[in-house]
Amino acid sequence: MRPDKHSSEGTPPLTPAVFHILLALVDGERHGYSIMQEITQQTEGQFVIGPTTLYRSIKRMLEDGLIVEVDERPDPELDDERRRYYRLTIPGQQAAIAETRRLAQAVAVAQKNLFAEDPFPLTSIEEIHQCTPLCHGLSRALC
């Protein structure tokens, strides 16, 4: 991975695309289209990744050792031979955990500073999107 002097854990912050790809691979191997579908499902459509972003991110993640391409294939009769399957590596899992901790810390700061009287008074993403412009911008970062 590329070094980042600002990272407290030695792991650079991940882009949203890379973070969501890692999360999509936690449960096992997937091919590109399946990764895109899983991200859409996990985020309830709040984050949709296109093929260009997906494959650029995958290329960088392969180079950084966050994922590997899998040689084993499902039954050829059940699968398209052109598909490439990817698996999360231990460094990829560690990067996802570090990013989750970093984001949790950011949410804790936001809760403390923005909602000091009533921590997270809003109960849904829709309510967050409907509040002030400051919250509107934050909600996109937090979703």
Q: Tell me the mean pLDDT in the region 86-113.
A: 93
Contacts of 55 (CB under 8 A, 6+ apart): 32
Rg (CA), the chain: 17
* Residues 19-50: b if buried by 16+ CB within 10 A, e if exposed: bbbbbbbeeebbbbebbbebbbeebeeeeebe
Query: What pLDDT shows up at residue 130?
Result: 55
Percent over 70 (pLDDT), the chain: 69
Q: Which of 93, 103, 97 is nearest to 28 (CA)?
A: 93
**What's the sign of the alpha-carbon dihedral 46, 51, 53, 54?**
positive
Average pLDDT, the chain: 80
Q: Tell me the mean pLDDT in the region 126-142.
A: 48
> pLDDT tens digit string along 29-48?
999 999 999 999 999 999 99
pLDDT band at residue 90 using 50, 70 and 90 as cut-offs: very high
Query: Could you give the residue ranges of the DSSP H alpha helices within 1-143?
Result: 16-24, 32-42, 51-64, 90-114, 125-130, 133-142
DSSP string, 12-52: PPPPHHHHHHHHHTTTS-EEHHHHHHHHHHHTTTSS---HH
